[in-house]
Amino acid sequence: MSVASSARRPSPVLSGLRSVVTAREFGIFLALALVIVAATVRNPSFVFSNDGSRDLLLTPAILVLLAIGQAIVIITRNVDLSVGSILGLSAYLVGSIFVAAPGLPYPLAILAGVLLGALLGLVNGALIAIAKVPALVITLGTLYAFRGINVLWAGGDRINAGDMPDDFLALGTARLLGVPYLSLLALAVLVAAGWYLRNLRSGRELYAIGSDPAAANLYGLPVTRRVFAAFVVSGALAGLAGVLYAARYGTVSSQAGSGFELNAVAAAVIGGVAIFGGSGTVWGAAIGAVLLLTINRALPILGVPAFWQRAVVGGLIIGAIILDRVLAVRQSRRLLAEREGGS
């Protein structure tokens, strides 16, 4: 009996391979690979050049950080539309600190940017989790409020590269073994967030809250605290993204980060994070961010007009939402069939 059962049982290697191939993230990764191959065939310098390989790794790093925070929020059945404005405020704060205190060690300026982002995320979290105001309404409002503060603060001025220390700017250009520092930092945050959501109870509770907030409340899960923390984390990551934006581009104005919030939501949705909450991974959101920006670079090389570039991105978002809905319906039917079969 044990021999027969062991013969029927698939090997761990085959089981692991099957789980990888059938994962939603694998399909997104495959689409990314196809885009890179198509652009490289058309123009080999897309990858096989110093600037091409650098941009392929460096350009998505900031959006990856925003997508990670956005994925955590969306998993709880919420959304954060203020991350672009938080990025802009944090970037301008860091530049202003260097202008006011040129000799300040740059790690302290980085910490200030992250703390500002966490504080702004705390405002969102308090209004949404504690005051019970819908996330879409609050973060749409704070998107404009935070941007207005930035415009009022900066006016028509801008922070230039000459106002910031060289060792700070090096974070945006330096490499370690050929890999940009920004990419390594984004990868470290991604690994930490992925491990947290998968292995810690508080991380798994976020999925339970997003799947059914009412049931999570009845079960005794700390829904208010978890949602509050999700927005603080999203704000902190947006603050970190703002710091890296200043280091990467060397110029910060009141419009820094405009439009990033929509790209962050798009990256998470394209990466398989269900817009209705309860499913998805930060890995998928990160791959979605890389795919989104890689498509934007690849389509002009492939001769696609600007209008169709936006249409392709819109089609990816709509397709991801439809696929999520189809998968949800299929899963509910399977669970219903199993329940009826068991009875």
Query: What pLDDT sits at residue 1?
Result: 46
- Answer yes or no: is pLDDT of 20 > 60: no
Among 101-115, 311-325, 326-340, the minimum mean pLDDT is found in 326-340
pLDDT at site 324: 67
Q: Which residue has the higher pLDDT, 83 or 311?
A: 83
Percent share of the chain, pLDDT over 70: 88
271 touches 68 (CB < 8 A): no
- What residues contact 210, with CB distance under 8 A and at least 6 apart? 74, 75, 76, 77, 274, 276, 277, 278, 279
Which position has the higher pLDDT, 330 or 22?
A: 330
**Element holding 209 (H helix, E strand):** helix 201-211
Asked if residues 289 and 60 have their Cβ atoms less than 8 Å apart, the reply is yes
**Mean pLDDT (whole number) for 167-194:** 89
Lowest-confidence segment of 87-91, 102-106, 286-290 by average pLDDT: 102-106
State the angle between helix axes of 61-75 and 201-211 in degrees (0 to 180), rounded to the nearest 10: 70
Average of per-residue pLDDT across 7-28: 61
What domains appear along the chain, each with residue ranges and CATH number?
A: 48-328 (1.10.3470)
Residue 180, beta-bridge partner list: 175
Task: Give the pLDDT confidence score for residue 338 in this predicted structure.
Answer: 65
Higher pLDDT, 310 or 59: 59
With beta carbons less than 8 A apart as the criterion, state whether 38 and 49 touch: no
Against a cut of 0.85, is the pTM above it?
yes
- Say which residue the tokens 């123009």 belong to: 43
Q: Is the pLDDT of residue 46 over 90?
A: no
Over residues 59-101, the pLDDT tens digits come to: 899 999 999 999 999 999 999 999 999 999 999 999 999 988 8
pLDDT digits (tens, 9 = 90+) for 245-274: 999 998 888 888 888 998 999 899 888 888
Rounded Cα distance between 10 and 2, Å, is 14
